[in-house]
Amino acid sequence: MSAAIANPPTQLAPFANEPYTDFTKAENAVRMRAALEKVRSEFGREYDLLIAGERRRTNAKLESVNPSKPSEVVGVHQKASEDDAREAVERAFAYFPAWAAVSYGERTARLLRASEIFRERKYEFDAWLVLEAGKTWAEAEADVSEAIDFCEYYARQAMKLAKPEPIVQLPGERDEMVYVPLGVGIVIPPWNFPLAILVGMTTAALVAGNTVVIKPSSDTPTIAAKFAEVLLDAGFPAESFSLLVGSGAAIGDVLVSHPRTRFVSFTGSRDVGLHINELAAKTQKGQLWIKRVVAEMGGKDAIVVDGDCDLDQAVTGVLYSAFGYQGQKCSACSRAIVDEAVYDEFLDKLKAKVETLTLGPSDDLNNYMGPVINARAKKTILDYIETGKKEGRLIAGGGAGEGDGYFVKPTVIADIDSKARIFQEEIFGPVLAVTKSKNFEHALQLANDSEYGLTGAVYTNSREKAEKARQQFFVGNLYINRKCTGAMVGAHPFGGFNMSGTDSKAGGPDYLLQFVQAKSIAEKIG
């Protein structure tokens, strides 16, 4: 156990979201370019596995690359073996009682220190996100700020768990309910928010008193290694977590199915999420509990554009929702459902705006869009575009961008039927399907015609229609007269319905309950 923190927090100021850095200010842009240069100087560095504080190297290596320039190796990482995975779970299980015994206050103090470290290293983490994940400056800044928000928000929620709401007191008894941690958790974050979601899932589990084994995406392992540095610097015991790089096929199933694993926290694709859920549901020899799965699995998100709305506002909202971070957000708008009364005008306005978007290396502040994450993703997206050209009418984009990176042009395909593949299937790239609706009721029917239910938005000036959307638009996160991306911790608890996951609402007041169990204690007195 690392040294105890002397002064756990007793009272915290109300939560407030982390402000974004304004890169239009010259001094901020200078600092960001310096951070990019510093990070580039570390390209090619080799990183170790971390297993409960032990650093380990293997013969098998994994290289992460800069998706804007794939010839640049960002980091060299060790591929964990099945034996490494089993050992990591066993060691996390062995240390769990010691970490669970640490008070909520001390665990919270470490989390708040992690928040401070992220602020101190904010430009550096921005740069890692730009160069390993292909995020533009603005998208990277939002990612790091959200990571800070998760630390600050979950610190406050943990202190509430430490002092639960009182329960009914029976005569002659002292009655209470307390929250206790679960055990060993497996944290499997995605590459698209390789810091924010990684930080959120990991710190929620740790501050609740669990130990964790982190298996980051093979596309963004360097960012995960830098996060591990923050945890250690913040005072989290080295034994409280492990960091294992490797493919899901190689070690993921071992981690999920291990009988000592108590819960799995996953963000990623629908198919992988369902596989994890199925695997976790099978009881293993020696397993004493039903495993919990906290899963966020993507979406096929729609924005409904009513005939009675501010059309320019709607066009802008669709544009940013569809093409921010190259459409590689589970919350991204991939379907625009537009009233026939304004359909042609909407397409004209959208086409004009799409054609102004700049595409190129994400380290260039002038580019609105950077690369998609890897060559496989690029090929899949381009294949979907070819399918879309057969299913509808190409309005903008339609192919690969110029340069050595994994660039795909922002693409709009109109006149799409609700049964078309690009209307139904998650593409996870800069491809927008536009469909005509007869009226608002028809638009909601089209929007709900999906196995997913993550985010959605409605643009309308009608209060009656907005209320109807509140009742009938079946998504976990609904936005009215604003874009469907950019959920803010605390204000927009995030999680979806149906095949979008378990609706566990990250960044919300009940999220930490996923990582604890309630214990009722009644003592006879007098």
- Cα distance between residue 506 and residue 150, in whole Å: 9
The amino acid sitting at 212 is V
Q: Which of 146, 152, 239, 296 is catalytic?
A: 296
- Answer for the pair 293, 277: CB distance below 8 angstroms, yes or no: yes
Burial label for 351, CB within 10 Å (0-12, 13-18, 19+), is middle
Which residues is 264 bridged to in the sheet? 186, 293
The amino acid sitting at 294 is V
- Answer for the pair 471, 441: CB distance below 8 angstroms, yes or no: no
The radius of gyration of the chain from alpha carbons, rounded to an integer in Å, stands at 23
Q: Which of 309, 330, 333, 484 is catalytic?
A: 330
Both tokens of 54, joined, read: 């032990």
Identify whether 441 is a catalytic site residue. Answer: no
Angle between helices 221-233 and 122-133 (to 10 degrees): 160
Which candidate, 158, 164, 54, 157, places its Cα nearest to that of 103? 158
Both tokens of 257, joined, read: 């199915």
Angle between helices 137-162 and 122-133 (to 10 degrees): 120
- Answer for the pair 338, 302: CB distance below 8 angstroms, yes or no: no
Identify whether 296 is a catalytic site residue. Answer: yes
Helix H or strand E encompassing 74: strand 69-78
Contacts of 74 (CB under 8 A, 6+ apart): 43, 44, 63, 64, 65, 66, 131, 132, 222
- Cα distance between residue 401 and residue 407, in whole Å: 5
Q: Which residues carry out catalysis? A: 296, 330
